[in-house]
């Protein structure tokens, strides 16, 4: 299969397999991998409004508790909540702002979009970009979760379930993990990276950079299914 067709086929297959994960709260990544929830209690999940996020900060989803004990558990102990058909990651556990984010792909890497973190601040300093500009570069795939008009930047992260380490999607991160895959995927990535590196106009560079990141997000989910 030619690389263009290969990439296209992978890109349309980005789907969350969370429906295979039993409903409940997971207190560790190990429990999630073994699909053994710490508690099978059901919670309602609320999509937070742009107004609420702008006023109080935090990520896009809130798990609604029934009492103070559950509130404490959801805030400080839970790593992931499965509703039975979707996964929600507790971003506070990984210092990517508070509240929860929807897991968009759940292979080896849990891929999700969330707010500012130490990783985004590091990348910000490296590239000398504002939070808004960084949000444009690393915002949601297709712009679905990107709320730049409301000044709510979102960044794409990958949590490695093999070592519980959080990563931000950058060209450098893609290079590191796709190198392990090798083959046509990595060869094509290197060719695209070389083209990007040759762009001298900063605005054009940022646009092409983001498009490349967006294309490879679903591919990572496919080449690392577990």
pLDDT, tens digit, for every residue of 6-28? 444 333 333 335 557 899 999 99
Dihedral over alpha carbons 74, 162, 11, 21 (to 10 degrees): -50
pLDDT surpassing 70 at residue 142: no
Let me know: does 58 contact 115? Beta carbons within 8 Å: yes
Going from the C-alpha of 161 to that of each of 7, 14, 28, 106, 139, the distances in angstroms are 24, 18, 10, 9, 22
Q: For 105, how many CA atoms within 13 A lie in the half-sphere containing its CB?
A: 27
For residue 4, what are its two tokens? Answer: 């263009």
Mean pLDDT of 119-123: 83
% of the chain with per-residue pLDDT over 70: 79
- In sequence order, the 6+-apart residues with CB closer than 8 A to the CB of 38 are 24, 25, 26, 27, 31
Residue 4 scores a pLDDT above 70: no
CA–CA gap between residue 78 and residue 133 (Å, rounded): 32
104/127 Cα distance (integer angstroms)? 27
Q: Provide CB contacts within 8 A for 148, sequence distance 6+.
A: 132, 135, 136, 139
Angle at 119 between CA 61 and CA 38, to 5 degrees: 45
Tokens of 102: 């929807």
pTM equals 0.82
Give the model confidence (pLDDT) of 159-190 as tens digits: 999 999 999 999 999 999 999 999 999 999 99
**Residue 49 CA to chain centroid, in angstroms?**
19
Average pLDDT of the residues in 102-125: 89
Question: What is the rounded CA–CA span in Å between residue 126 and residue 80?
Answer: 31
- pLDDT of 92 higher than 50: yes
């Amino acid at each position: 299969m030619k690389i263009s067709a290969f990439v296209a086929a992978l890109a349309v297959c980005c789907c969350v397999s969370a429906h295979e994960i039993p409903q409940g709260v997971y207190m560790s990544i190990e429990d999630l991998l073994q699909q053994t929830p710490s508690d099978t209690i059901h919670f309602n999940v609320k999509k937070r409004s742009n107004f609420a996020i702008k006023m109080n900060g935090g990520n896009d989803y809130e798990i609604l508790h029934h009492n103070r004990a559950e509130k404490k558990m959801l805030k400080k102990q839970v790593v992931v909540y499965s509703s039975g058909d979707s996964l929600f990651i507790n971003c506070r556990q990984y210092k990517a702002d508070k509240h929860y984010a929807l897991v968009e792909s759940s292979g080896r890497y849990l891929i999700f979009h969330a707010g500012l973190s130490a990783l985004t601040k590091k990348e910000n300093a490296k590239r000398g970009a504002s939070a808004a500009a960084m949000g444009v570069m690393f915002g949601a795939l297709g712009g679905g979760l990107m709320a730049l008009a409301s000044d709510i930047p979102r960044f794409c992260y990958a949590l490695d379930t093999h070592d519980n380490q959080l990563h931000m999607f950058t060209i450098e991160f893609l290079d590191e993990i796709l190198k392990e895959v090798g083959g046509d995927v990595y060869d094509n990535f290197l060719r695209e990276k070389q083209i990007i590196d040759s762009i001298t106009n900063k605005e054009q560079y940022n646009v092409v950079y983001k498009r490349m990141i967006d294309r490879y997000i679903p591919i990572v989910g496919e080449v690392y299914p577990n």
